[in-house]
Amino acid sequence: MEIKNPLIKALTTGTRGPAGESADTAAASGQTVGRGPASTSDQLTLTAAARSLLEAGRETSTPVDGARVAALREAIADGSYRVDAGRIAERLLALERQL
């Protein structure tokens, strides 16, 4: 798969930043780019907005039902799982109406 966004490409390859600039040039301008494997001295600092979004996601997420996941995996594996296209379409339309 080819990554077309130069910033994402830089973050995943560590070779080029936005507009083709080198990692050192991008870093000097305050942009973060990947530089290869992480070392024990690497650090990550989240902004207040990022921390807020992370907490909001934790509060609104529903727990995963392990038994249901296992049952679905088994049904898919043995070929008994059937997709209800009508139900999917109804839910997509309901979501579209909410937007």
- In this predicted structure, what is the pLDDT of residue 80? 96
Task: Fill in the amino acid letter for 36.
Answer: G
Higher pLDDT, 69 or 44: 69
pLDDT mean across residues, the chain: 75
CB atoms within 10 A of CB 6: 15
Q: Smallest Cα–Cα separation from 11: which of 35, 30, 43, 40? A: 35
Tokens standing for 61?
């997420």
Q: How far apart are CA 74 and CA 27, in angstroms?
A: 48
pLDDT above 70 for 3: no
Q: How far apart are CA 49 and CA 65, in angstroms?
A: 30
